A and B are shown apart, each in its own frame.
Chain A
């Protein structure tokens, strides 16, 4: 992909983000932060590439360990972020019908 194609995705995604986030109900702003935190850990993709790169090139040894460290950090965020969001969302209940 060339730079302009990527930039287009980015700019359009910013607009999508703008409208989607404004429609989030304020009551769910804390879960919103938790889930955005989890999804921003998609940076794990870069970490996996670095960790899987074949050794041989100069600096690739250190790069691999940095990649593995980033995999651990991003995994904490992914699993922790989604789990804590799930836990919070499960607490939001509607009023029970009068019995």
Chain B
């Protein structure tokens, strides 16, 4: 029924700019340079001393990519397109101003948000930003579907009957729907992650009956629709894929609990990269492909690191339900009757001021209580007394990778006093006081000994090896995220400091001063 366009028909009027791009090798070169800048941006993060230079490389790369696109895709007036005479084209100033206004609007919102956001809210912010990448990818993919000629991914086809239409290349169809699907999953997943991290939605996993079957069914439907879309570019298939993807992103994240969020945020980070890469394939743009691959692998590696730090498989995290109420009720009740020691702020101040080395173990509780600044004050006072103060960070402490490091940096703790699990674990045996603030499961010795424990095998900080453990906790009743009681509380060398983390540290500071 349809015949390919004959050479006599001028396809040019619709896309003169695109042809100019294809002809100019400097444009591809510019995108490549942008991609290399992005690699250097990540490379800079290997050390805090080079990181700021790296970030500047990122900005330069982005500027190159944006300016190149702006220059090569100047909006032209439709009524002033003389076929075959691209030099007389007239710039559509209204459209050009609209684009610049859109960039300015985004810049204003972005910069104000970045300046105002509290460091403790960083996980939410990152989740929100991921959702924007996802939504932008969806919008771009939809635009590419609606106006494929502008993206140079379609041939004009003149059927025997009816209007000529743009037939999208089969490869581009697959790339496009992958972009829209991954983008939509990133968007709705990130929105849920944001709501959970921001406290608008409870941190407890929400378990729908038959959710695995439902997800598998939806995924299967998407795969079938993608296959159909390669044969038939009907709008209904495209839109159905988009909607199903939004739904699946939502369903994927709601069963995952609050403390598994480091994995989720990393995973969504990865997805946002793959979405960008898929669109890069659609647009044949090397900057987008390189970036997508970088971001995709970055998120994947971070997810892997987080899973390893919890000794859980990626699949088990994604399946969700960890820390749901059924795990929490067992075991906790009997254990509360066991004897434990309670200490006061004065006791803690005395013990630490007499110590040679104090290792501080912060966790999510420190972020919630906003105790990082007063904690640093405590560290300074101890240092004045001649005590060596170090910080020990478990990879999954907090709600996103590196969360604790940023908070300590915000409080002016020098980064060379902050150590990762594997670098400091051997030192606890020579430590006088381990000061646990807002962490719980990551210090539980049961992970090393109790095979029945849900956290068995998880690498933990060996705080119990220190001469004394000071453990700040709001009350003895609650359990950690994993829903297991912490062996540490009942040890002879543990002293429980029952109070709000910030108040307790403030009192210790008073007692020290």
A residues whose Cβ falls under 8 Å from a Cβ of B: 1, 3, 6, 9-11, 13-14, 16-18, 20-60, 62-64, 66-96
Contact = CB atoms under 8 A, between A and B. Distances in A.
Contacts of A14: 293, 296-297
Contact of B58 (A26, A30, A35, A69): A35
Interface of A is mostly: helix
Given A1-B286, A13-B39, A31-B55, 17 more contacts: A6-B289, A10-B280, A22-B301, A31-B406, A34-B129, A37-B126, A41-B276, A43-B133, A43-B137, A43-B276, A44-B136, A52-B75, A52-B96, A64-B95, A78-B107, A79-B110, A82-B59
Given A25-B47, A29-B402, A70-B136, A45 B289 contact: no
Interface of B: 14, 17, 28, 31, 34-35, 38-39, 41-43, 45-49, 51-52, 54-55, 58-59, 61-62, 65-66, 69-70, 73-78, 81, 92, 95-96, 98-99, 102-107, 109-111, 113-115, 117, 119, 122, 125-126, 129-130, 132-133, 135-137, 139-140, 142-144, 146-147, 149-151, 165-166, 171, 265-266, 269, 272-273, 275-277, 279-299, 301-302, 305, 393, 395, 400-403, 405-406, 409-410, 412, 414-418, 420
A50 B279 CA distance: 12
B129 A68 contact: no
A45 B34 CA distance: 12
A71 B69 CA distance: 12
A41 B414 CA distance: 32
Contacts of A16: 39, 290, 293-294
Nearest to B66: A44
B110 A76 contact: yes
Given A22-B301, A37-B269, A48 B143 contact: no
A71 B135 CA distance: 11
B181 to A, nearest CB: 15
Contact of B139 (A11, A41, A58, A69): A69
A17 B293 contact: yes
Contact of A25 (B46, B171, B272): B46
B395 A54 contact: no
B301 A18 contact: yes
Contacts of B109: 72, 75-76, 80
Contacts of B283: 45-46, 49
25 contacts: A9-B289, A10-B280, A13-B35, A17-B298, A21-B302, A27-B402, A37-B272, A38-B129, A41-B276, A42-B38, A42-B65, A42-B287, A46-B140, A50-B143, A52-B99, A60-B147, A66-B140, A68-B102, A71-B99, A76-B129, A77-B133, A80-B111, A83-B111, A91-B409, A95-B416
A85 B55 contact: yes
Given A10-B281, A45-B69, A46-B288, A51 B95 contact: yes
Given A23-B46, A39-B291, A95-B414, A30 B403 contact: yes
A26 B420 contact: yes
A29 B401 contact: yes
B272 A81 contact: no
A7 to B, nearest CB: 8
Interface of B is mostly: helix
B65 A45 contact: yes
B132 A79 contact: no
Nearest to A68: B102
Given A6-B284, A23-B43, A83-B115, A50 B150 contact: yes
A21 B301 CA distance: 7
B294 A93 contact: no
Contacts of A1: 28, 284, 286
A73 B132 contact: yes
A81 B298 CA distance: 16
Nearest to B172: A3
Contacts of B41: 35, 39
A92 B401 contact: no
Contact of B45 (A24, A43, A69, A76): A24
Nearest to A38: B58
Contacts of A66: 139-140, 142-143, 146
B62 A17 contact: no
B62 A40 contact: no
B405 A13 contact: no
Nearest to A65: B143
Contact of A37 (B31, B61, B99, B133): B133
Contact of A83 (B46, B110, B403): B110
A43 B295 CA distance: 12
Contact of B92 (A22, A23, A54, A79): A54
Q: Most A CB atoms within 10 A — which of B49, B70, B144?
A: B144
Q: Most A CB atoms within 10 A — which of B51, B117, B286?
A: B51
